[in-house]
Amino acid sequence: MKEPSKAKSKDNTEEIAYKDAVEELESILHEIETGETDIDVLSEKVKRALFLIQLCRARLKHTDDEVRKLIAGFEKPEE
């Protein structure tokens, strides 16, 4: 599996492309479902999955807000 793209943002938090986050989540889920995850690292995998879910939700909300603003601006009648 390829290593996800990681970078640090200005506030020193990890930045991952949405697509990479989803792929990593799918990988973690597969490992857990198939029993490939060692019990000693299960907690860390779950923590990582929760972080990725929060990241994806935030990206989706941001994108949704942006698209709504663009559409609202487009639909606004010119005066």
- Which percentage of the chain shows pLDDT scores above 90? 66
* CB under 8 A, 24+ apart: contacts of 73-79: none
- Which percentage of the chain shows pLDDT scores above 70? 78
Residue 8's pLDDT is: 52
Which residues lie closer than 8 Å to 36 by C-beta, 6 or more apart? 30
Averaged pLDDT, 46-54: 97
Average pLDDT in the chain = 85
Cα–Cα dist 13/70, whole Å = 28
